[in-house]
Amino acid sequence: MKTTVSMIALVAAFAISTPVLADAGHGKPSAIGMPGKKVDAKRVIDIVMEDNTYNLESIEVKAGETIHFRVKNAGELLHEFNIGTPAMHATHQQEMMKMMEMGMLTPTSMNMNMSSHAAMGHSAADMAGMKHDDPNSVLVEPGKSAELVWKFAKAGTLEFACNVPGHYHTGMVGQFKFSR
Ligand SMILES: [Cu+2]
């Protein structure tokens, strides 16, 4: 089972490369904020994604504010709404590139039911790290919608971006502007 071993090594490499995401995943506050509760959200913002743009260029947000994002993919390609720093997006772009190379993602869909998943048995749990389930992000297939509730932390350089290979660099990125 050489394949399994190399897969685990790859997963471990991802885990090491994304400490910020790992923190957020355990519900701990991080520099970019943490998953929020709908009841705390005073604003609902509709995000519409097309190939390859967002309906909004920037979003005003207050430090500590919780926002409920309703994210719709009105395009024909797979798109993501991911909240992070430019450095986090750069890291995530590399991960998504690998996921695409491994067949876990295609330009138009997620392929999370790979047979190799089941074959990997125990390590399937480890694979969760490679499933696209970061709490600061939703990955949405064409025609579908998703929700993301996020409690922002302090002011900082924060972007919403799509890290599907090629999209960020063709302009699928916007700024969070912190106001007081
Ligand atoms: Cu995209």
Q: What is the pLDDT of residues 3-56, one digit of tens each?
A: 444 554 555 444 444 444 444 444 445 789 999 999 999 999 999 999 999 999
Residue in this structure with the two tokens 């970061």, named with its chain if needed = 134
Separation CA 14–CA 27 (nearest Å)? 19
pTM over 0.75: yes
Q: How far is the CA of 167 from the centre of ligand 1 (A)?
A: 5
Q: Which domains does the chain have, with CATH numbers?
A: 2-179 (2.60.40.420)
Q: How far is the CA of 144 from the centre of ligand 1 (A)?
A: 13
Nearest in space to 138 (alpha carbons), one of 148, 130, 151, 123 = 148
144 within 8 A of 76, measured Cβ to Cβ: no
In this structure, which amino acid lies at residue 158?
L
pLDDT the model gives residue 6: 52
Q: How far is the CA of 121 from the centre of ligand 1 (A)?
A: 32
pLDDT the model gives residue 85: 96
Q: Which residue has the higher pLDDT, 22 or 97?
A: 97
Q: Which residue has the higher pLDDT, 97 or 119?
A: 97
Q: How far is the CA of 30 from the centre of ligand 1 (A)?
A: 25
User: Residues of the chain with pLDDT > 70: what percent?
Assistant: 73
When pLDDT is averaged across residues 59-79 and rounded to a whole number, the result is 97
When pLDDT is averaged across residues 69-90 and rounded to a whole number, the result is 97
Separation CA 53–CA 102 (nearest Å)? 26
| Tokens, residue 114 | 């790979």
